[in-house]
């Protein structure tokens, strides 16, 4: 996980519609950047729906929400349509951004060790600096927790 107070790495990735998003484009706004393991899994779906339902509250606080996983643009499109998601979900199949944000790590699941995305949420401030970071994400509460951090 990246340290609070460090500059957030810039990136350019396609969303579920194939449109490119660059972090620099959001300068002047707060960005909730959350990394999740896989589309259409119970925890990831719960987390995405929490952000979608709370999107008006984030907008009121001057923040945008961006989700990132290594799933394809096509997978993200199905995920968006299935749950009616209302924010960009960015595709990083080469894990370039996932690794630059230090969220690709060894994970243990039922005794099996694999590499994967460690669910992590960052708050990036208007100047592109990491203002908050959480790698102990509870999927059902992540959106509310980040709203509380925004104040």
Q: 128: left (phi > 0), else alpha (psi -120 to 50), else beta?
A: left
Q: How far apart are the first and last CA of the chain?
A: 23
Write the DSSP string, 63-129. Answer: EEEEEEESS-HHHHHHHHHHHT--S-EEE-TT-HHHHHTT-EEEEEETTEEEEEEPPEEEEE-TTSB
Alpha-helix runs per DSSP H in 14-136: 42-53, 55-60, 73-83, 96-100
Q: Does the active-site annotation cover 44?
A: yes
Set 2, 8, 13, 44: catalytic member: 44
Q: How many CB atoms lie within 10 A of CB 110?
A: 4
Q: Report, as residue numbers or ranges, the catalytic residues.
A: 44
């Amino acid at each position: 996980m990246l340290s609070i107070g460090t500059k957030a790495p810039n990136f350019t990735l396609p969303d579920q519609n194939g449109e490119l998003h660059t972090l620099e484009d959001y300068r002047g706004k707060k960005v909730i950047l959350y990394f999740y393991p896989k589309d259409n899994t119970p925890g990831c779906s719960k987390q995405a729906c929490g952000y979608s339902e709370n999107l008006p509250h984030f907008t009121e606080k001057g923040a945008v929400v961006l989700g990132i996983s290594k799933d394809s643009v096509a997978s993200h499109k199905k995920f968006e349509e299935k749950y009616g998601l209302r924010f960009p979900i960015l595709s990083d199949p080469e894990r370039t951004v996932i690794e630059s944000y230090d969220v690709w790590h060894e994970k243990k699941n039922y005794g099996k060790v694999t590499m994967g995305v460690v669910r992590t949420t960052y708050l990036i401030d208007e100047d592109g600096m990491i203002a908050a970071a959480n790698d102990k994400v509870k999927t059902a509460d992540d959106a509310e927790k980040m709203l509380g951090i925004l104040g």
